[in-house]
Structure 1
Amino acid sequence: MSTYTAERIAREIIESGKSVPPLPAASQRLMIIARQPIDQIDVASFSKLVEGDPALTAKLLQLSNSSFFGTLKAIKGVRQAITHIGLQETVTSVLSFLFREALPQFPKLKKMSGDDYWEHSLGCATANRMLGHPVHAQMTQAVPGELYIIGLLSNIGKIFLAINRPADFERCLDLAHEQNLPLAEAQKQLFGTTDNEVAYHVLQHWNLPETICLTIRHYRSPGAAGKELRGIAALTQLAHYMVNISGIGNNGDQYPYQIEDSYVFENWMFPQAEKQKQAKVIEDIFKMLEKRAGMMNPDNDPQEKPEASVPPAKAAAPQNKKKKGMFGKLLSMVK
C-alpha cells in the first residue's frame, strides 16, 4: 500500500476545504472528558460545557425525551438528561451529535446514503464501547468512552473520499459488489490506498490523539498495529463485524466477513477464565444493537435511501437468518 498516496489524497482533501472543517471549540474538551473513566468525570464541568452550546443541548434534550428512553415527564435540562439516561450515554451521545454536525452531508450515492453511514458508525461506536467491559481489560486499557470515539470515527475516511471523489468512490462500491471484494481491496485498486489510511492523515490534521488516529489506521489489520494498540484495533474490528451481522446501517462494505476470521478469534485474545462473562457481554451487545436499530439516526434526515437491489421484504429474511446463525456461532465460540 502506498503511504504517499494516502498522504497525497489527504492533503487534497484538507486543502479543498470541502469535507474537513475545523472542529467545534468544544470538541477537544469533550474528547478529553470522554476518554476519562466514567467515575472520574466532573458532571458539573461537563454539564456547563454542553449548556454552552445551544445546538448540542437541544439535540441531547431531543434524545432524552425520545420514546427510546421513555419518560413520564419532559426532560428540560442537561443535568436532568444525565440523571435520566445516564452519564456514559449522555457523554457519548453528545460526541455523536458534535461530529455529525461538524461534518458535511454525505453525498447521494446509489448504494449508500448518509443515514446508512451514520447508523453503521453509531452501531460500531456502541458495540466498541460495550466491548470495553472490564472482562476484556487484559486486551486494552482504553476506557469505554475512548473506544466509542474510535468506533464512531472508524468509517470517517469514507466521508472524505465520497465527498471529494464521489465518482471514484461510487466505482469502488460497484467494483466491491461485482467482484465480491472487501471494500478496502476495491479502494486499493482504484485509489492505491484505503479510507482508513486517508482518515489517519486527516485526523492528525484535526490534532486528535495519536491513539485514536493509529487505531483507526490499523483496525482492519490489527496485527499491523503496535503492541499497545493491537487490542483496541482488534476490538474495533470485531465491533465492525458484529454491526455488519446485525444489519444496522451500511458502510459500503458488503463483503460477507466471518466472525471467526476476526483477529480476536483467530488469535483467541479473550481471557480463557472469563468465558461466561464474555458470552454475556456479546449477548448484551447484540441485544443493544437490535434494540437500537432504526433509532441510531437522531435527526431522521430526509435523505433519499439508495436503491435496493431486491425488495426489502425479500432481503430481510436472509439477513435475519444470517444474524441469528452468526450470533449462535459467536456465542458458541466463547461458551
Structure 2
Amino acid sequence: MAVVQARIAILEDSRGKVLVILPEQQLLHLALLNHSYQRALKAAQVGQVKKIFVPTLVRQAQFMDKLLSLPLILDHALKDADVLAIYEPISGLRFELERSRLTHAQVFRFALTPHQIDSRLPTQDDEQAILLAVDRFTSLRIKERLADTLEIPPLPLTAQKIIMLSSNQEAGANELVPLVEADPSLAAQVISWASSPYYAAPGRVQSVKDAIVRVLGFDLVMNLALGLALNKTLKVPADVPQGVDSYWTQAVCCATAMEALVKVMPPARRPSAGMSYLAGLLHNFGYLVLAHVFPPHFSLINRYLECNLNLASHYVEKQVLGVTREQVGAWLLQCWQLPEEVWTGMRHMHNSDYRGSHQEYAHLLNLALSLLREQGIGHVPGESTDEVLFELLGLEPELCRDAIRHLLDEREQLNLIAERLSLSA
C-alpha cells in the first residue's frame, strides 16, 4: 500500500471554501489552479483554519465526514496513491486519509516541485536576475545602471555617518552619542531598546550615552542604530501574508537570536557581535525592497505565501517574480556600501552548502532562523534544522537550543520592542 506525503490547504472565494490536497513539499501554483478550476480562490483566514483543525476533533469520524463534504481538488501527482499522510501547516496537525474517501475530488495539475521552479530560471548573476524581473513585471525603463532604473531611495544620512564612524578604529561613545541624538526618533528607539526589561538594566536609562555606556555597549548601539535607520528607509507594506510573524517581530527575534548564538560560540571563532546583530536585524530587508520595486505584484506574492506556508519564501518568489528577497536585499545593501559581512550573510542565509567569504554570518543566520522556527517563530514551520551548521560554527546543539529557549522566555518583551519599532517606523 503506497503512502504518500501530502498537505492540505483550505482556499475560499465568494462562493465558499474548497479543500486542496497536493504533495507536501511542492508549491501550490495558485494562478494555475484558479485557471483550471475557474474560480478566484485565495487562502482562508488563519483564524478560521485553526478553528477547523482542532487536535481533539481531527481523529473523529464525524469531523472528517464534515471536512470531506467540502468541494475537493487533488493534484494529479496524488491520483494513484492508496493512502495520503496529510500535513496541515497552520495547525501543524498530521493525519492519514485513504484515497478511497476522495472519489469526489476533481483532479488538476497545479503543484510544482522545487526543481521545476529552479530549472525554469536561467543561470545568471543577481543583477541580471533582478533586471530580468524588472523588465517582466514593471514599466520602468531599463537603464545602464540598475540603481538608476529602480530609483531606490539614497542611503540615509544617519546611516552614511554611522558607516563612516565604523571605519574609525579610535571612535567611541563620545562620537556615537551626538550622531544618534541628531535623529530624535532614532535616539528614542535606542533608549527604549536599552530600557526594555529584556536587558534588565539597573535603574532608569536616561540618555543615549547611558544606553551605550551602561547597557548595550558601543558596538551593539552602532549596529542597532544603522539597522533601524535602514529599516526606516522603506516602509513596511500594509498588505502582508497571513500566518507569518510581523516584519519587526522577525527582525527583533532574529537579531537577539544571533546575539545569543555568538555568545555561546568558542571565543576564537566568534564573529563580530555587533555585525551579527545587524545581520539579524536586516535579514528580511529584501522583503521591503520587493514591496518597493514590484508594487503591482507584491500582493500576488503574499497570496502565494499564504497558500504555501510550509515552503521557504524563496520558492514562491522565484515562481512569481523570478528573483528572491535575498537577491534584491543583498544587492541594495551592497550598493549602499554596507559591510560585506551583512549582505553576504543575507544573500546566502538559506544555503548551508555555501562556502565563501564571511560564510560564518550566512551559517549563523541560517541556524538562528532554524532554531527560532523550532520554537514556532518564523516562516516554514515544518522545515528541519541542518545539523551540519552546528559543526561548521563550532557550536554545541543543546547549548544553542537552550540559549534560544532562554531568549524566548522574554518573548513578551521582544514583542513589545517590535511593536514600538513598528509604530515609529
TM-score by length of 2: 0.57
Across the aligned residues of Structure 1 and Structure 2, the Cα RMSD in angstroms comes to 3.5
Instruction: Kindly indicate whether residue 225 of structure 2 is the aligned counterpart of residue 102 of structure 1.
Output: no
The aligned counterpart of 2:410 is: 291
Please, which moves more after superposition, 151-160 or 204-213? 204-213
CA distance in 2, matches of 1:29, 1:300: 21
Q: Cα deviation per residue 1:35-71 (whole Å; 9 max; x = unaligned)? A: 899xx86222222322233222222233344454566
| 1:80 corresponds to which of 210, 231, 235 | 210
Q: Deviations over 1:258-316 (max 9, x none)?
A: 01x35505xx3243xx74xx64354223312341441341526469xxxxxxxxxxxxx
| SS of residue in 2 equivalent to 1:175 | helix
> Quick one: distance in 1 between partners of 2:260 and 2:171?
18
Quote the Cα distance in structure 2 between the aligned partners of 1:182 and 1:160. Answer: 18
Q: Which residue number in structure 2 is paired with residue 116 of structure 1?
A: 246
For 1:71 and 1:208, how far apart are their aligned partners in 2? 30
Taking structure 1 as reference, are residues 134 and 31 closer, same or farther at Cα in structure 2, changes over 3 Å only?
A: farther
Are the structure 2 counterparts of residues 70 and 281 from structure 1 closer, same or farther at C-alpha, using a change threshold of 3 Å? same
**Equivalent residue runs for 1:12-51 within 5 Å:** 14-15=147-148, 20-31=152-163, 42-51=172-181
In the alignment, structure 1 residue 156 sits paired with structure 2 residue 277: no
Cα pair 1:223 1:230 within 8 Å, conserved: no
Does the 8 Å CA contact 1:30/1:95 hold for their aligned counterparts? yes
Partner of residue 5, structure 1 = 129
1:220-271 C-alpha deviation (Å, 9 max, x unpaired): 1142341x322221111111112223334x5xx3352101x35505xx3243
Distance 1:172 1:92, change over 3 A: same
> What SS does structure 1 have at the residue aligned with 2:317?
helix
Q: Deviations over 1:132-157 (max 9, x none)?
A: 23734565x63111111222222111
Contact 2:258 / 2:365 at 8 angstroms: preserved in 1?
A: yes
Greater mean alpha carbon deviation, residues 119-128 or residues 22-31 = 22-31
1:178 aligns with 2:302: no
**Structure 2 residue 318 is the aligned partner of structure 1 residue 202:** no
Distance in 1, matches of 2:292 and 2:326, equals 15
Distance 2:341 2:227 in 1: 19
| 8 A contact 1:172–1:183 mirrored in 2 | no
Counterpart CA distance in 1 for 2:171 and 2:289 is 32
Please state if 1:264 is matched with 2:383: no
Q: Quick one: percent identity of the two aligned structures?
A: 22
CA deviation string 1:100-158 (max 9, x = no partner): 32222323234278x7011102211221233223734565x631111112222221111
Larger RCO (CA under 8 A, 6+ residues apart):
1
The aligned counterpart of 2:258 is: 128
Write the distance in 1 (CA, Å) between the matches of 2:373 and 2:238: 22
Contact 2:318 2:324 in 1 (8 A): yes
1:245 aligns with 2:374: yes
Equivalenced residue count is 287
Whole-angstrom CA distance in 1 between matches of 2:195 and 2:280: 25
Equivalent-residue separation in structure 2 for 1:10 and 1:134 (angstroms): 42
Taking structure 1 as the reference length, what is the TM-score of the superposition? 0.71
The structure that is strand-richer by fraction is 2
Distance 1:301 1:194 in 2: 24
Partners of 2:181 and 2:304 lie apart in 1 by 46
